[in-house]
Amino acid sequence: MKGMFARTPNGIKTTLKKIARGTIGRLPPPSSRLTGELAKCGGTPVRNIRLRPWASVDDDNDERWPEIRQIFHRIYVQGIEGLPQPLAERFGQQWATYCGCKYGLLLGHGTDALRFALAAVLDHDGLDYGGEVIVPNFSFIASATAPLDRRFGVVLVDVDPGTLLLDPSTVEQAVIPGKTRAILPVHLFGQPADMTALRRIAEKHELKIIEDAAQAHGAIWQSSPVGSLGNAAGFSFQSSKNLACGEGGALTTNDEHVFERAYSMQNVGRSRVEAARWEHLSLGWNCRATEYQAALLIHRFKLFERRQSTRRKNFQYLRELMSNVSCLEPLANHPGVRAHGMYMFAMRFKSDRLGASSVETFLDLIQAEGIPIYRAFSFTISDQPAMRELIKKRPDYFRRLPTPVSDQAACDTVFIPQNVFLGTKEDMEEIVAGINKVEQWFKNNAQKTRDLRQHVERRL
């Protein structure tokens, strides 16, 4: 815990945080805090995050530690920290059932889940070129590095301007019969991609679909959960995710053959059924998760739906409040989305509504007010330094169609992280109050805006 609680014992720290949120949060807000001078210019911030930190998934860890300590102690004493993985198998099946699938495999990382999903679905050992996989150019880099790791070529295409999700029309344009083998839609920021249109394209061209569901725990497209909408899917349980164990991932599928291949790959080529220790029936690696990861996920999964419900209420309330904000525009929700995963509340920054101020200037001011808004991907995948260098060295592994929407999104997309939505309605109101304060300052100080922009940009 940062700030005033940094050296406080854990139990007292939790109590102090609750008192801070419960008591200070009810105090009448001074008008100067909400409408006065910007904190960056010497005023009082809307929220002093040292005294009133935003909600965190770790807020009740002290209370829950005795239960998880007993579980960890049992694993440690019994000495079953890895194979035969009873808890990992239990959680894998639990997560698969939650996602509407028959099979689930817990892995060490989300990128492993994508790598093995691709290799298992396409039955490819990764020792030679495997054909092309279509990937949105606006995503986390693992959406591209996972297929590259298995020696698939990557076709980078554009996203929809409203949702920033894979645009089916660009997918259709990218297909080369006999060369294109799969589509990798990314359920970005928690919202499912248009799986109805993508499945139609996949069926037409005899392509496979591997879902990148790393950011979409609990999301539902029409009548089915993500993870069950393609041939296989990869999830992440990295520490920032709505369900997390520090590092971890899961593969889900309804195809028994895909599951068996993926199991063998992650368990150094052993068969799941004929589990002889020194017999390796296929090319595989050791990417198994530990029992400690599985135990933590089983424990936290009990809380998952309740926390998602809290996030959902605050997510929707903030969206309603944002109708009065002009400089930030929340991403559109596709009508086919029955449940949003609420990993990030993503928005587009409208520079023209703040005197052509840069997104860096805006974020510098809003964060000084204690408001948790941050930059999303500042590069498209194709513009990442590593990718630019790789494209030069191995152009045969890349195709990039025009991606103007992705290019612009990398310049102006910002977000609020999922942990903030575990807070209160008052927290949402304070976020919008902070945005309005910055907006109003810009309107009242056109000349100061230009001076401040020059000052901040010189610093950056």
Considering the domain architecture, whether residues 332 and 411 belong to the same structural domain is answered as yes
Considering the domain architecture, whether residues 113 and 234 belong to the same structural domain is answered as yes
* Domain's final residue, options 272, 299, 326: 299
Residue 30 has pLDDT above 60, yes or no: no
Residue 4 has pLDDT above 70, yes or no: no
Residue 39 within any structural domain of the chain: no
pLDDT at 451: 63
Domain total in the chain: 2
pLDDT at 296: 97
Considering the domain architecture, whether residues 254 and 135 belong to the same structural domain is answered as yes
Q: How many CB atoms lie within 10 A of CB 4?
A: 14
Considering the domain architecture, whether residues 276 and 416 belong to the same structural domain is answered as no
Q: What is the pLDDT of residues 288-330, one digit of tens each?
A: 999 999 999 999 999 999 999 999 999 999 999 999 899 999 9
pTM for the full model? 0.90
Q: What is the pLDDT of residues 336-368, one digit of tens each?
A: 999 999 999 999 999 988 877 899 999 999 999
- R_g of the chain, CA atoms, integer Å: 23
Considering the domain architecture, whether residues 269 and 164 belong to the same structural domain is answered as yes
Considering the domain architecture, whether residues 308 and 295 belong to the same structural domain is answered as no
Residue 61 has pLDDT above 70, yes or no: yes
Q: What tokens were used for 238?
A: 């990295």
Considering the domain architecture, whether residues 284 and 409 belong to the same structural domain is answered as no
* Domain's final residue, options 299, 315, 347: 299
Residue 26 within any structural domain of the chain: no
Residue 3 has pLDDT above 60, yes or no: no
Dist. CA 273–CA 124, nearest whole Å: 21
pLDDT at 5: 44
Considering the domain architecture, whether residues 144 and 259 belong to the same structural domain is answered as yes
Considering the domain architecture, whether residues 389 and 292 belong to the same structural domain is answered as no
Residue 31 within any structural domain of the chain: no
Considering the domain architecture, whether residues 265 and 351 belong to the same structural domain is answered as no
Closest among 55, 46, 41, 47 to 1, alpha carbons compared: 55
- pLDDT greater at residue 70 or residue 445: 70
| CATH for 356 | 3.90.1150.10
| CATH for 188 | 3.40.640.10
Rounded to the nearest 10 degrees, the angle between the axes of helix 142-149 and helix 110-121 is 50
Alpha helices in 24-108 (DSSP H): 31-35, 61-78, 86-98
Considering the domain architecture, whether residues 110 and 209 belong to the same structural domain is answered as yes
Q: Are 117 and 136 in contact (CB under 8 A)?
A: no
Considering the domain architecture, whether residues 316 and 175 belong to the same structural domain is answered as no
pLDDT at 93: 98
Residue 351 within any structural domain of the chain: yes
Residue 25 has pLDDT above 90, yes or no: no
Domain with 324, as residue range(s), is 304-459
Dist. CA 343–CA 351, nearest whole Å: 25
pLDDT at 443: 84
Q: What is the pLDDT of residues 222-255, one digit of tens each?
A: 989 999 999 999 999 999 999 999 999 999 999 9
pLDDT at 447: 61
pLDDT at 434: 96
Q: What is the average pLDDT across 179-208?
A: 98
Dist. CA 226–CA 363, nearest whole Å: 32
pLDDT at 37: 86
Task: From residue 230, give the alpha-carbon distance in Å to each of 250, 313, 339, 409.
Answer: 15, 29, 17, 26
